[in-house]
Structure 1
Amino acid sequence: MSQPAEFLPTLQDLVKCYQAFEAYSAANIRALGLTPPQFDIVATLGNTTGMTASVLGEKTLITKGTLTGVVDRLVARGWVERAAHDSDRRCQIVRLTPEGEALFAKIFPAHMAHMAACFAGVGAADHARWQTALQQMEQLFRQENP
């Protein structure tokens, strides 16, 4: 097992990287008129026919308690709706409205362009190296918490 002196700097760098990513991403999302959780839901629902709240929670970074309130606010803005599930009356499908689809078509490409600007000049070899390292680290955490 690694000593704290060996893995602690890795954890610190991971946290600093995530915080820098979050700050860079969130500033652009707010400039587009959304909060990061609202963007997460709209982006996740984009190009889908909708999904249950449970699936939406699994696919986003939003906790179940927060998810309901964010969806409620998106419903109030006319971008998301809840519909009856075809086969399970206990569930509802959360999906984008036509206005929500138009919002997604506007903000998602704009945010991807913002994120792409951060990676300008980075080569395929660097991306491959980073992806491998991140996937290996993810597996370490999954092994410890199946």
Structure 2
Amino acid sequence: MTDQADLNHAIIEFYEKLSSWEHCVVRDKKLTLPQMHTLEILGIHRAMRMKELASKMGVTTGTLTVLIDRLEERGLVRRTRHQTDRRSIIVELTPSGQTEFEEHDRLHIRLTEDICAGIPQEDRDVLLRCLQSMNRMF
């Protein structure tokens, strides 16, 4: 049986290592980690309302507004009014933002390939199911 403390420590250690890797990657792009996460969410889920994006990121709409202002200044996102709900603002990636997302996503894919290189396929399948279950908890 798995010791809860060992599992806890393994999750924390993996999180810390992944966070360090992320910080190094985004630093080279002169982006903050929250800015890159914004691009990732928009790259994966496409255009969405500010309120929905804030919810996916776990931040307030005020915090998101500052992030979007900076990303818009850099030409990575654009805001438009929702077609049927004039109170809502839609945020989407610009072509430059899409390029940044795709480059970052390729780095993630390479990292995942490197991490999983020595893991048998059946263990990868179990890992995927575990991660999906864990993600549903959030």
Q: What TM bracket, shorter-length normalisation?
A: 0.7 to 0.9
The alignment partner of 1:28 has SS state of: helix
Contact 1:25/1:115 (8 A) holds in 2: no
Q: Between Structure 1 and Structure 2, whose CA radius of gyration is higher?
A: 1
RMSD over aligned CA atoms reads: 2.7
Aligned residue type for 1:15: I
CA distance in 1, matches of 2:103, 2:132: 31
The DSSP-based 3-state class of the residue aligned with 2:30 is coil
- Equivalent in 100, 106, 109 of residue 106 of structure 2: 109
CA distance in 2, matches of 1:17, 1:108: 19
Q: Which amino acid aligns with 1:25?
A: E
Q: In the alignment, is the contact (CA less than 8 A) between 1:29 and 1:111 conserved in 2?
A: no
Deviations 1:12-37 (A, max 9, x none): 33222212221123322322332221
Does 2:74 correspond to 1:77?
Answer: yes
3-state secondary structure, aligned to 1:46: helix
CA change 1:116–1:58 in 2 (3 A) is farther
Contact 2:116-2:124 within 8 A present in 1 as well? no
Contact 1:42 1:100 in 2 (8 A): yes
Which structure 1 segments of 5+ residues have no match?
Answer: 1-5
Distance in 1 of aligned mates of 2:51 and 2:41 = 13
Task: Name the TM-score, length of structure 2 as normaliser.
Answer: 0.76
Distance in 2 (CA, whole Å) between partners of 1:59 and 1:113 is 25
Q: Is the 8 A contact 1:28 1:111 kept in 2?
A: no
Equivalent residue number for residue 25 of structure 1: 22
CA distance in 1, matches of 2:94, 2:65: 17
Aligned length: 135
Can you give the 5+ residue segments of structure 2 that lack an aligned partner in the other structure?
none
Q: Please say if 1:59 is aligned against 2:64.
A: no
User: By how many angstroms is 1:80 displaced?
Assistant: 0.8
**1:1-146 pair list within 5 angstroms:** 7-46=4-43, 49-60=46-57, 62-64=58-60, 65-136=62-133
Q: Using a 3 Å threshold, how does the CA distance of structure 1 residues 135 and 81 change in structure 2: closer, same or farther?
A: closer
